[in-house]
Each structure stands twice: as structure tokens, then as C-alpha cells.
Amino acid sequence: LALVTFSFKKVWFLVNNYPLYTFGALALWKLAEMIQRKRKHRAKVLELFGIVLQAVYDRLSECEDHEGYAGLLLRDDVGHDMYPTSFRERQFVNDFVWPRVALEILADNRVRKFHRVANGKQLEHWDFAIQSKRGWKLRKSMGTPDSKVKGDVTPIKREP
């Protein structure tokens, strides 16, 4: 209790005698805290961006029919696969990561984009082009660092 009283008296002394410096130091501390929080947020978004984009491309390559995936349904499926029990984390992915993923997909020429009406709603659908699906599956099966199949896999030799 004595330490708390001593600390409070010192803080009160500084605030009374040097109010501009005290509030300046407090504002600087809050600014540094805000910058640090923003950096953490940005790092988390960039980390999840790669994971979500990879999951989206995996889903698009696994889609065998030419119906494609509705963008919103794909977002929900990927979110539920990543975080089946955490609504807060899914909301974070939907609010901050998904807009970046959607821009990346929209800019990708390997993905067909088209609108389709389903249950009275017009949704944007995405579908990998046939060659891109084959190439993605081939890269996944060859044991690339981000593939699901690990081990010593030798690539297939092809004649030109």
C-alpha cells in the first residue's frame, strides 16, 4: 500500500507541475500503442491471406463440374474449415482477409468469373479454367512445399 501511495504522489506531482510534458508523454505512449496494435493486425491479416488464398485455390481445383463455386459460399466454407468453432475468428477472416482474397481472385486470369441466379439471388461464381485445374493438381501431387502429399516424389518426365 505504501508503494502505491508513493507512486500516486509522484504521478500527481508530475501532472500538477509539468502538465504539458505529462500529457505529451501520455499521447506519445498511446500513439506508440496504436501503431503496435496496427502492425500486429496487419501481420495477422497477411499471414492468414496466404492460407485462405491457398484454401480457395484448392477448393476451386477440386470442383469437377463447370458450375464453379459461389464466392460467398466459398468464403463461408473456407471460414468454417479453418475455424469450425470460433465465430470471432471467422468474422475476422470475413471482414479483413476475404476482401484481399477476393481482389486477388478477381485479378487472376486463370479463374472464370460469371454470375448465376440461385434461390432468387444473383451470386458471382468462380471456376478454375481446365488447364489451371490440371496444373494445380499436378503441382499439389508432386510434393511441393505447400502440398498435402509429402515425401520423395519424382516428377513425371514428358517429351516435348
Q: Which single residue is written with the C-alpha cell 489451371?
A: 132
* Better-scored residue on pLDDT, 37 or 64: 37
String of b and e for 90-115 (b: at least 16 CB within 10 Å)?
Answer: bebbeeebbeebbeebeebeebeeee
Alpha helix (H) ranges present in the chain?
2-17, 19-62, 71-82, 87-92, 98-107, 130-141
pLDDT of residue 101: 93
In which element (H, E) is residue 2 found?
helix 2-17
The total number of residues shown for the chain amounts to: 160
- For the record, the C-alpha cell of 79 comes out as 471460414
**pLDDT digit string, tens, across residues 98-150:** 999 999 998 988 888 888 887 788 888 888 876 666 666 667 766 555 544 44
- What is the torsion angle, in degrees rounded to the nearest 10, for the CA atoms of residue 71, residue 82, residue 84 and residue 62? 50
pLDDT of residue 63: 77
* Residue 158 pLDDT > 50: no
